[in-house]
Amino acid sequence: MPNNTLNGQIMKNLIAALAVFFSLALLSACDATKTEIAASKDAYAGRYHALPSKPTLLQGATLLTGTGEILENADVLIRDGKIERVGKELDGSDAVLVDVSGKWITPGIIDVHSHLGVYPSPGIDANSDGNESTAPVTAEVWAEHSVWPQDPGFVAALTGGITSLQILPGSANLIGGRSITLKNVPARNVQSMKFPGAPYGLKMACGENPKRVYGSRGVAPSTRMGNVAGYRAAWIAADDYRKKRAKGDEDTVRDLKLETLADVLDGKILVHNHCYRADEMSVMIDVAKEFGYKITAFHHAVEAYKIADLLAENDICAAVWSDWWGFKMESYDGIRENAALLDNAGACAIIHSDDDTGIQVLNQEAAKVMGAAARVGINIAPERAIQWLTKNPAKALGIEKVVGTLEPGKMADVVVWSGNPFSVYSLVDDVFIDGALIYERGSPAHNPVTDFSLGNSAATGGAQ
Partner 1 sequence: MRILIASMTLIIAFWTDTGVAATTLVTGARIYTMGPQGVIENGTLLIEDGRIRAVGAKVELPAGATVIDAAGKIVTPGLFVPFSALGLVEIPAVDATVDKIQRGGDFSASFDVADAYNRRSAVIGVNRVEGITRALIAPVAGYSDDPRYQSQIFSGLAAVVDLDTDANYLTRRGAAMVVNLGAGGGSLTGGSRAAALQTLTTALDDARDYAKHREDYDRAARRSYSLSRADLEALQPALQGTLPLIVNVDRASDIEILIALAHKYRLRVIIHGGAEAWMVAEQLAAAKIAVIVNPLRNLPASFDALNASKDAAAILAKAGVVIAFSDGDADGQTRNARNITQYAGNAVAHGLPWIAALEAITLTPARLFGVDNQLGSLEKGKAADFVIWSGDPLELTNYPDAVYIDGHAVPMTTRQTLLRDRYLKLDSDRPPAFN
Of residues 9, 23, 40, 457, which one binds partner 1 by CB under 8 A?
457
DSSP track, 270-337: EEEEEE--HHHHHHHHHHHHHHT--EEEEEE-TTGGGGHHHHHHTT-EEEE-SS--SSSGGGTT--TT
Q: Which of 231, 229, 327 has the alpha carbon at shortest distance from 273?
A: 231
Residue 115 contacts partner 1 per CB under 8 A: no
Cα separation, 125 vs 134, in Å, equals 16
Residue 333 contacts partner 1 per CB under 8 A: yes
**Residue 57: phi, psi to the nearest 5?**
-115, 110
User: What's the min distance (Å) between Cβ of 368 and partner 1?
Assistant: 5
Of 365 and 434, nearer to partner 1 (C-beta) is: 365
Residue 370 contacts partner 1 per CB under 8 A: yes
Crossing angle of helices 208-215 and 224-247, in 10° steps, is 100
Residue 376 contacts partner 1 per CB under 8 A: yes
Cα separation, 147 vs 184, in Å, equals 12
Residue 33 contacts partner 1 per CB under 8 A: no
Of residues 5, 33, 192, 364, which one binds partner 1 by CB under 8 A?
364
Cα separation, 245 vs 235, in Å, equals 15
Maximum Cα interatomic distance, the chain, rounded to a whole number of Å: 70
Of residues 7, 222, 252, 426, which one binds partner 1 by CB under 8 A?
426
Amino acid at 184: N
Residue 453 contacts partner 1 per CB under 8 A: yes
Residue 356 contacts partner 1 per CB under 8 A: yes
Of residues 2, 102, 122, 408, which one binds partner 1 by CB under 8 A?
122
* Binding range to partner 1, per CB under 8 A, among 47-55, 213-221, 286-294, 355-363: 355-363
Of 201 and 421, nearer to partner 1 (C-beta) is: 421
Contacts of 338 (CB under 8 A, 6+ apart): 301, 302, 304, 305, 318, 320, 321, 322, 349, 369
User: What's the min distance (Å) between Cβ of 116 and partner 1?
Assistant: 10
User: What's the min distance (Å) between Cβ of 171 and partner 1?
Assistant: 14
Which residue ranges make up the site for partner 1 (CB under 8 A)? 121-124, 152-153, 156, 208, 305-306, 308-309, 323-329, 332-337, 341, 345, 356-357, 360-361, 364, 367-368, 370-372, 374-376, 422-427, 452-453, 456-460, 464
